[in-house]
Amino acid sequence: MTKVVFIEHDGTEHEVDAENGTNLMEAATKHLVPGIDADCGGACACATCMIYVPEEWAAKLPEKEDMEETMLDFCDHSKENSRLACQIEVTDALEGIRVSMPASQH
Amino acid sequence: MSDHVVIVGAGHAAGQAAASLRQEGYEGAITMIGNEPYIPYQRPPLSKKFLAGEIGIDRVYFKPPEFYEKENVTVKLGTRVTEIDRNAKTVHTDKGETFTYSKLLLTTGSRVRELNLPGFDLEGVFYLRNVGDVEGIQSYFNKGGKCVIVGGGYIGLEVAAVAAKHGIDVTVLEMAPMVMARVVGPIVSRFYERVHKEEGVKIVTGAAVSGFEGKNGQLTKVTCADGTAHEADFVVVGVGILPNVELAVEANLKVENGIAVDECCRTSDPDIYAAGDCTNHPNPLLGERLRLESVHNALEQAKTAAAAICGKEKPYAQIPWFWSDQYDLKLQIVGLSAGYDQAVVRGNPDEGRSFAVFYLKEGRLIAVDAINRAPEFMMSKQLIAKGVSIPAEKLRDESINMKEMAAYAT
């Protein structure tokens, strides 16, 4: 288990124990964190599980594959530090990571 | 009478509706009744990662089991609703139970279209809709051998891709002249036929399956009307689905190619709502009524229905979108291409595995089939919702970034 903090757009924090080997999208939906829609269930097809990752954590994450990169490129609320939560596997290296969500995923 | 929302069905729409009812502030009782032995789960992985054995059932659940407890949702599984009594506002089940509702939500979904041909009950003949179906198919994966897929639609071709990767000899029999003809344009159909052939899958189009033959109760071959036969250890039939509307019909609700609902998912009875595959609904963005077989539709209609049950108007107005994963191909479709008068290709469908086809109707962009082309898909999602026209020569010009395409919209 790895501790992950999801921060809603209004600042509400949700600290969850994420299971290693699953991904951050699953960790959020499993713990009923609002603000992650995940319409496609993690197929990297819908870009509705966007999160913002602080700079100090960005380097510890797996690199973006082309599909994720281009999907993010076309999202309304996308920023340089955006990621799709379904593409980030939970590992010990993420212990304590704090990520935030946009106001809307659509 | 106290508030009690009864949800008939336990698929995507049911799970989303339960969650959305609580998010909308509904505090009354919720009972969900499903005939499968599982809490709501995601169906798309059943013909993809779950079939391939890459993920287990716990990663397919729509919400974790704890969700229903935490949100105080009573879930009745393995239970079929047999009747709706609109006067008494009750539903009866095959377990002899009766539930009184203040509001009823029908999320009955759809079921596979069956092929009642000779030999359909032989061992080794499968459909793919439920977790149970997948378990049956997987038991043959491990044995190797030959598989015949009847129907070259999404389900058939996704299963073909997974089976081929498991080293199975796969033949797809499609009745129409092209695969996926109901969901994509001919350019994309031909592309998928090419890729499946490259991956070692045999595709036979114009094939009318006439029956299944076996030995000692076990399937051995699939026969076609023209006299040809295809040896098979197992067969997966994917020839479409039918909406489950019987309960609604028997309750005298308005049903026209799906349970008729308005833009807020209300049926012809003010206390009964419906959402998902089973509905026929208006789409203000498309200007027509339609029935859709799609996860996105199930989720969005469930949100709308939950809001309506809570007295809030959140009309459903979404451009439909779909996806399919086969081999290394991610197909993303947005919009409905029916009625297009011009297909514009961006990229090369005859080489490689990445291109998009835009469908125009009187110049207006109405749909896109994008293969490994996220920019085309994402940008088109926005453009189609706006109902804009874009010149074909701009769309096909790959020197123009998709981000700049909006500048040519009128």
Interface confidence, given as ipTM, is 0.84
Q: What percent of chain B has pLDDT over 90?
A: 97
| Candidates A30, A32, A43; nearest CB to B323 | A43
**C-alpha count within 13 angstroms, C-beta hemisphere, residue A76:** 11
Q: From residue B135, how far is each of A43, B27, B140 by CA, in Å?
A: 21, 38, 9
Q: Of the ranges A26-40, A43-57, B22-36, which one carries the lowest mean pLDDT score? A: A26-40
Give the domains, in start order, of chain B with CATH numbers: 4-111+242-309 (3.50.50.60), 125-239 (3.50.50.60), 328-408 (3.30.390.30)
> What pLDDT score was predicted for residue B142?
81
For B63, the closest chain A residue by CA position comes to A30
Q: Does A30 touch chain B (CB under 8 A)?
A: yes
Average pLDDT of chain B is 96
Banded pLDDT at A38 (limits 50, 70, 90): confident
> What is the arithmetic mean of pLDDT over B188-194?
98
Distance from CA of A10 to the nearest CA of B (A): 16
> What is the arithmetic mean of pLDDT over B43-56?
93
| Candidates B70, B325, B375; nearest CB to A43 | B325
> What is the arithmetic mean of pLDDT over B90-102?
98
Set of chain A residues whose Cβ sits within 8 Å of the Cβ of B63: 29-30, 32
**pLDDT higher than 70, residue B76:** yes
Average pLDDT of chain A is 91
Set of chain B residues whose Cβ sits within 8 Å of the Cβ of A32: 19, 63, 67, 70
Note whether B59 contacts A26, CB cutoff 8 Å: yes
Dihedral sign of CA atoms A5, B50, B305, B74 in order: negative
- Burial of residue B115, with CB atoms counted within 10 A of its CB: 0-12 exposed, 13-18 middle, 19 or more buried: middle
Q: Of the ranges A67-76, B111-120, B294-303, B309-318, which one carries the lowest mean pLDDT score? A: A67-76
Q: List, as ranges, residues 46-105 from A with C-beta within 8 Å of B.
A: 46-47, 67, 70-71, 73-75
| Candidates A22, A32, A45; nearest CB to B332 | A45
Which tens digits make up the pLDDT trace of B321-330? 999 999 999 9
Q: In what order do the strands lie in the sheet with B234-237?
A: B125-127, B234-237, B146-150, B169-174, B202-205
**pLDDT higher than 80, residue B274:** yes
Distance from CA of A23 to the nearest CA of B (A): 10
For A34, the closest chain B residue by CA position comes to B23
The dihedral over CA atoms of A19, A25, A30, A36, expressed in degrees to the nearest 10, equals 150
> What is the arithmetic mean of pLDDT over B171-191?
96
For A28, the closest chain B residue by CA position comes to B63
> What pLDDT score was predicted for residue A75?
86
Banded pLDDT at B206 (limits 50, 70, 90): very high
**pLDDT higher than 80, residue B1:** no
> What pLDDT score was predicted for residue B61?
94
Banded pLDDT at A44 (limits 50, 70, 90): confident
Note whether B48 contacts A43, CB cutoff 8 Å: yes
For A74, the closest chain B residue by CA position comes to B378
**pLDDT higher than 80, residue A8:** yes
> What pLDDT score was predicted for residue A34?
84
CA-based R_g, chain A, Å: 12
> What is the arithmetic mean of pLDDT over B189-203?
98
Give the count of beta carbons closer than 10 Å to the beta carbon of residue A11. Answer: 7
> What pLDDT score was predicted for residue B374?
92
CATH number given to A2-100:
3.10.20.30
> What pLDDT score was predicted for residue A43?
85
> What is the arithmetic mean of pLDDT over B139-149?
92
Note whether B296 contacts A39, CB cutoff 8 Å: yes
Distance from CA of B290 to the nearest CA of A (A): 21
Q: b or e along B310-348 (b: 16 or more beta carbons within 10 Å of the residue's beta carbon)?
A: beeebebebbbbbbbbbbebbbbbbbbbeebeebbbbbe
Which tens digits make up the pLDDT trace of B360-386? 999 999 999 999 999 999 999 999 999
The pTM of this model reads: 0.93
**pLDDT higher than 80, residue A106:** no
Banded pLDDT at A67 (limits 50, 70, 90): confident
> What is the arithmetic mean of pLDDT over A15-33?
92
